[in-house]
Structures are given as structure tokens and as C-alpha cells.
Structure 1
Amino acid sequence: MNIRRLLAILLAVVLSTLLATQIWAAAANEPLDLNRQCWLTVNPCSTSDKEMLEDLSGADVVVDLYKVADMKAEQNSYSFETIKPFDLLKIPQDIADDRWAEVAQSAANTVLTSDTYTPDQKDIKTGTKIELQSGLYLLVAHKKGDTDYVRTVTDEDGNSRTVTQVRTGKHLYTFAPELVSLPSKLPENGVINTANPGDWIYDLEVNLKPELNDLKGKLEIVKTLRTFDTAYGSATFVFQLDWDENGKHYSDVRTITFSSSGKQVLTVELPVGVTITVTEIYSGAKYEIVGSAEGTAVIEADEVARVEFVNDYDEDSPPNGGGTITNKFTFSDGEWHVTQQVDSTEE
């Protein structure tokens, strides 16, 4: 082996050893000063999304802060030293690493699933600048005064995570717990990474990234069949649902099938705030509507709207056909599947 190749190998070993002993290199134009005071402003969402910002601002969203780790500096390197109750957490070597979401989840599970731990700072109004010491902090957003905001949600792959939720008039916002380092760096490629080049930021403003869903309410279609005629088999009744949402008109069809007289209830989820009109458009063989064939209701949160229909056997009416079939479409494994139902109450 020649001398040049040997020197190259030795240099690679030395560099590898140095990288292994330095958790993060402080690639900055100015040295890291952990004695400087830091400030943090947390916005409930991107300030460029005016509609969402206005909606969340009216919901009185606040943030709880838990200090997860102290920031340590040694010459040109720095690291995080976790503190109780987070002392068992494993901190990744790169703050831009995707594993930071996993660390945030572990930290959130430590404090949000128990009444033992209280935030270092509680109910910080979003948009307000607060003074903090350097370190790594867990941010937990919720509605001020709300005590039941922690949820466990599961994605399509069966993976569960801990989140917090805030409800406004018509929307449900889901916040993932987030970690933020103080001081920090400017975003690079959309990611705030403490290894990014540039000066350290001691006055940091961050935007939370909530998921937005329409808040759902429930509608019950209550169907009563006074008399059932066994001569014609099952009796199927068809309902058309019409509503307007965000300037668009929507229509759906649902069915209820009887094999005897009695009452059945079909429950439908709809966006909060819409006015729904339900019309019975098919009354089955040898049956007639008693009363109105149309009902209207307003969908509200935490309440069950209800429309009711009554049918009875009409012995003088000629048979008007048999039952109906409703196609139900579901998406899974990357493709659409269709199943046929004669009764929507089976969903």
C-alpha cells in the first residue's frame, strides 16, 4: 500500500471519529451563545392562510410548553441533554431527521397521558412573544379552558399517534405535538434545522401545522312501517338527501328495508351547519306515505338532527315494483371496490 493511500485512510478514520464525538456541528457565521436570552412566538397556523388564521384566532388557541432538554455547547459543537421526565428519550443526531416526529410523539406520550406532569409554561396565547432560556421545547396546542383535547388517531396503515384537537364553529383542527430548539436557524428547503448554515436565531417565530377537517354532525332518518304485507316480501324505501356546502350542491340516496312492521333508524354524518332536505322518493310495493314525504333539518355539533317518515300498507294500490339496490363505493389497497346494498342501515 503506498504512503498516499495510507494517509488518506488515516485521515478518513480521524474524520469519522470526530464526527462520531460531535453530535451536531455548529455551522454558523457566529458562535453559539447559550447565555443569550431567547424569545419564541408561536402562531396557530401559517400567517399567509388568512381564513384559517382568522378561524383559529377566534377559537382562543393557546400553547403549553414543556422543556425537554438543555442545550450544551463545547467549542464548535453542541448537543441536547434531556431532563426529567424526558430523560429516557433518545435524541436523533440531526434536527431535520424525520425521527424528530417520533421524538415529539414520545415526549407527548410522557406528559399527556398522565396527570403527573405540568407544563413549564401554560396557556401561552398564540401570536404572543415570550422569553425563554435556550433548550429544546415540546409545544402542545389546545383551546384555552378545554380539558379534554388529547386524542389518539390512527392512519390507514394502522399507525396511531397522539394529537390534540380544537373545534371551531364548523371545523376540527388536529395538532401534532412539535419540538422546537432555541436558539435555532433559518429554514433551508422548508426545514428548520440546527445544522443549517447561517447565524443562530435567538428571536424565533414558528407556525404550527394543523390538519383541517369539516366538523361532522349526525342526522337520523326515522322510518316507521305500520303494517307489513308478507305476500310481497321485503319492503324497501328510498330517500334522497340534498344539501348545499361551500357553494356546491350535493345529493345522495339512501335506503331502508323492512322484513316486518316496526321502526328503523338510518344515521348519516354530514358537515355541521348545512341544511339538509330528505325526500322519500320510493315507498315500496303496496305501501303509501302517511303525512309528508319531505323533511328538513339543520346539522349542528353535539346534537342529533332528526326527520321522520311513516308508511302503511295500502291494499287498494297495485304493486309498484320490488326493492332497490344501492351501490356503495370504498377505496382500499389502491383501488375502488363496489358493494351492493338493499339497506343503508347496514353500513
Structure 2
Amino acid sequence: MKKAVFKSKGLIGIILGALLIIGCLQITGLKAAGRINPNTPITITAKIAENDQSIFAQEFDGKLQIRLYKIADIGETGKATIEAGFEDIDLSILDQNPSPEDIIDNIVAVAEPIAKDMEDYTTIEIKRGDGESEKTVTMPEGAGIYLYVPQPAADRRYTYTFTSYILYAPTSTYIMTGQGSDQWQYDVEFTIKSEAEQAYGDLAITKTLDTFNKSLGKASFVYKVTATLDNEVVLNNVYSIDFDKAGSKTRTIKDLPASAVVTVEEIYTGASYEAVGNEIVSGLVIKPGDTVTANFENDYNGNLISGGISAENQFTVDENGNIIWTDKDGNPKEQLHMEPAETFR
């Protein structure tokens, strides 16, 4: 089943905006009004834009955590000094009028793997379930270059990934836009940009056969599986489980879209076996990265009719795996596709 990725339309905006910030680093010593006060606290705000129409902005109701790593210290003159642990980063790329891709490849891509193993970071947490769209932290003596790394998130249907980037603090209107005031601003912010990918989970059909009559040969049981998502059918198929002795077997249907609602119906038990309990399990909801199970139980009913699919002539399977389901009078009722037998666990 093909997986879908949903990209935020504003992804380029974050890169271009950050490029303006970083691309002016070497200008700041000349254009900024006065020296930076490295003792002034820096406030950093992470925001989800008001006009963000992404799936994340519209649907996610969990907690988003963003880690802030200070990768360089900024002195009074605006000169950057790499912090311990990030020595592999070469900031000289900032002198070369870099493209967004240059910054990602030469700074972000180098810094992020290093930061992943570090315990020294500041966390910003935005609680979407509480209606929060932004959160601010204060960094004492915080003048510097920061790497921000939003952590992957997930909900009942999607997994979310985010753009990591860098920011320069303090900043100024001139640095941000190339014009206007050069007065230092110690309050900086960045906007979260996301990608959403459909999550998937599995369905297990577990069959328990209490008693098996060996003289009748193989016993076949057939299940119709229907899954719907957003009122659309995303799966409508038939699966079989065969037995040559009593016991339990499980057949797993993989990669169903998370949040899909599934109904499993046992549509064939053979003439010599009967259901013990439910023949339909409905309302199962697929969970991301997990398996939901439909349980069925059958027992020998005393009849002496062999239990293969052709026993009652209710099903005809053609060479393409299509199964024609007929009623007791031989009238075609439905044509479905039956998946071939697979390895059971």
C-alpha cells in the first residue's frame, strides 16, 4: 500500500527567512547600532503560524518538543566562537553568501548528528491539546547561534517530521530584511514547518479450531475484510486460513492506514465446522505501528463432509485469485479477490 507524504506549503519560507538572518552575520559588525551586550538575556519563541494550513497545524493535538542547542557564542563585536563539541562545524560558509542548501548541508547536517548525543539543550514544549501555538524560553547570557531541532511526533493517524535550522540571536530589523533599524533585538522567534506522513498498522486474524477431524482432510476458513477511512473503502478483500490439525493460527494483513475502521466477517467455515461465538468482528481501529486482532473460534460439528473450499460449492476461485461467492441456490453474490496462502506465525 503506497504511503502518502503531506508537505507544508511554507517549507521554503523558513529556509529563506533563516537565510536572511544568517547571511548578514558578517554585516552586523558594521551596520548594527553599538555592541552586543552578551549579558542580556535572549528570549526565543517557537511559533506555529496562524495561517498554517498543514495537517500538523490543523490536526495534531499532542505535545511538540523542540530542542535548542547553542552551537556558537556571539561576542560584543558579533564574532562567533564555536561551542565545545561542535568543533566540526565550519562557519566560514557564512562568509560566502551561502544558499539555503549550503547552510543545511554544511551547518545543520553537521550539527544535528552531534547534538543528538548531547544532554545539554533547552526544551521548548508546545501543547497543542491546550490550544498553544507558541512558547517562549529565556536564555541567560544567551547571545549566540542556535540550532533548533523539533522532535518527531505522531498521533492516531499521522507521523510528523519537521525542519531543523539555525537562528542568530540577537538580531535586528536590518539583519532580517536588509533595511530598517539596526538596533539589536534580544527577542527572536522562528516558525515551525512540518511534513505529515500517513501512519500504518497491521490487522491480525486469529483462528482457534477446537477439534479437527483428520479423516475429512484440510479445513478451510474464509474471512472478508473491509476497511474504511474517511468514509472511503480502502480495503475489501478475502483471506483464508487452512488447518490440518486443531490449534490456533494467525494471519496478518500488513500496512493498513492508521485510523481505518475494520470489519472482519467469517464467510465460510465448511460444512463440518461451526462458529463458536461471533462470526463478525467490527469496529476495530488500526493503530500506528501496532497490531489489532480479530479473534474467531470454531469446532467440529459432527458432519462428515470434507472441509475444503469446494465442499459446499459456495466459492469458485479462478486462475487470477478472484473468488466468486454464491448463495445456497447458486446465485452469484459477490466477487472479491482472495489473497494466496502465506506463512502463519
Under TM normalisation by the shorter chain, which class is it?
0.5 to 0.7
SS of structure 2 residue aligned to 1:87: coil
Counterpart residue number, 2:135: 128
Q: How far 1:221 sits from its partner (Å)?
A: 0.8
Q: Please tell me whether the aligned partners of residues 236 and 255 of structure 1 are also in contact (alpha carbons under 8 angstroms).
A: no
Q: How far 1:88 sits from its partner (Å)?
A: 1.6
Counterpart residue number, 2:64: 61
Higher mean Cα deviation, 289-298 or 222-231?
Answer: 222-231
Q: Please tell me whether the aligned partners of residues 216 and 305 of structure 2 are also in contact (alpha carbons under 8 angstroms).
A: no
Counterpart residue number, 2:44: 40
The answer as to 2:316 corresponding to 1:316 is: no
RMSD: 4.3
Counterpart residue number, 2:227: 243
Higher strand share: 1
Q: Please tell me whether the aligned partners of residues 62 and 124 of structure 1 are also in contact (alpha carbons under 8 angstroms).
A: yes
- Give the length in aligned residue pairs: 274
Q: Matches of 2:295 and 2:54 in 1, distance apart?
A: 41
Counterpart residue number, 2:292: 305
Task: Structure 2 unaligned segments of length 5 or more: list them.
Answer: 1-22, 127-132, 323-337
Q: Matches of 1:26 and 1:303 in 2, distance apart?
A: 51
Q: Please tell me whether the aligned partners of residues 54 and 194 of structure 2 are also in contact (alpha carbons under 8 angstroms).
A: no
The answer as to 2:146 corresponding to 1:137 is: yes
Q: Please tell me whether the aligned partners of residues 170 and 271 of structure 1 are also in contact (alpha carbons under 8 angstroms).
A: yes
Matches within 5 A, 1:111-126: 111-114=115-118, 117-119=119-121, 121-123=122-124, 125=126
Q: Please tell me whether the aligned partners of residues 166 and 173 of structure 1 are also in contact (alpha carbons under 8 angstroms).
A: yes
The answer as to 2:239 corresponding to 1:276 is: no
Partner AA of 2:64 in structure 1:
V
Q: Matches of 2:190 and 2:215 in 1, distance apart?
A: 67
Partner AA of 2:144 in structure 1:
G
Q: CA 1:216/1:25 → structure 2, altered by over 3 Å: closer, same or farther?
A: closer
SS of structure 2 residue aligned to 1:128: strand
Q: Please tell me whether the aligned partners of residues 326 and 341 of structure 1 are also in contact (alpha carbons under 8 angstroms).
A: yes
Partner AA of 2:224 in structure 1:
Q
Counterpart residue number, 1:253: 237
Q: Please tell me whether the aligned partners of residues 227 and 236 of structure 2 are also in contact (alpha carbons under 8 angstroms).
A: no
Identity across the alignment (%): 17
Q: Matches of 1:322 and 1:97 in 2, distance apart?
A: 60
Q: How far 1:294 sits from its partner (Å)?
A: 1.5
SS of structure 2 residue aligned to 1:227: coil
C-alpha offsets along residues 10-65 of structure 1, whole Å, 9 cap, x if unaligned?
xxxxxxxxxxxxx978579x814561666532125674227633544x42323221
Q: CA 1:63/1:85 → structure 2, altered by over 3 Å: closer, same or farther?
A: same
Partner AA of 1:309 in structure 2:
F
Q: Matches of 1:62 and 1:316 in 2, distance apart?
A: 62
TM-score using structure 1 length? 0.60
Structure with the larger RCO, 1 or 2 (CA within 8 Å, 6+ apart): 2
Counterpart residue number, 2:165: 178
Q: Please tell me whether the aligned partners of residues 225 and 262 of structure 2 are also in contact (alpha carbons under 8 angstroms).
A: yes
Q: Matches of 1:264 and 1:288 in 2, distance apart?
A: 16
Q: Please tell me whether the aligned partners of residues 270 and 299 of structure 1 are also in contact (alpha carbons under 8 angstroms).
A: no
Q: Please tell me whether the aligned partners of residues 36 and 75 of structure 2 are also in contact (alpha carbons under 8 angstroms).
A: no
Q: Matches of 1:343 and 1:35 in 2, distance apart?
A: 71
Q: Matches of 1:179 and 1:123 in 2, distance apart?
A: 15
Task: Structure 1 unaligned segments of length 5 or more: list them.
Answer: 1-22, 142-163, 187-193, 328-339
TM-score using structure 2 length? 0.60
Q: Please tell me whether the aligned partners of residues 26 and 32 of structure 1 are also in contact (alpha carbons under 8 angstroms).
A: no
Q: Matches of 2:48 and 2:169 in 1, distance apart?
A: 19
Q: Matches of 2:251 and 2:172 in 1, distance apart?
A: 54
Matches within 5 A, 1:20-39: 31-32=31-32, 35=36, 39=43
Counterpart residue number, 1:16: none
Partner AA of 1:206 in structure 2:
F
Q: Matches of 2:176 and 2:58 in 1, distance apart?
A: 34
Partner AA of 1:83 in structure 2:
E
Q: Please tell me whether the aligned partners of residues 240 and 252 of structure 1 are also in contact (alpha carbons under 8 angstroms).
A: yes
Matches within 5 A, 1:87-166: 87-91=87-91, 92-93=93-94, 94-102=97-105, 103-114=107-118, 117-119=119-121, 121-123=122-124, 125=126, 127-130=134-137, 133-141=142-150, 164-166=151-153
The answer as to 2:249 corresponding to 1:264 is: yes
Q: Please tell me whether the aligned partners of residues 67 and 136 of structure 1 are also in contact (alpha carbons under 8 angstroms).
A: yes
Q: Matches of 1:343 and 1:243 in 2, distance apart?
A: 20
SS of structure 1 residue aligned to 2:113: helix
Q: Please tell me whether the aligned partners of residues 36 and 76 of structure 2 are also in contact (alpha carbons under 8 angstroms).
A: no
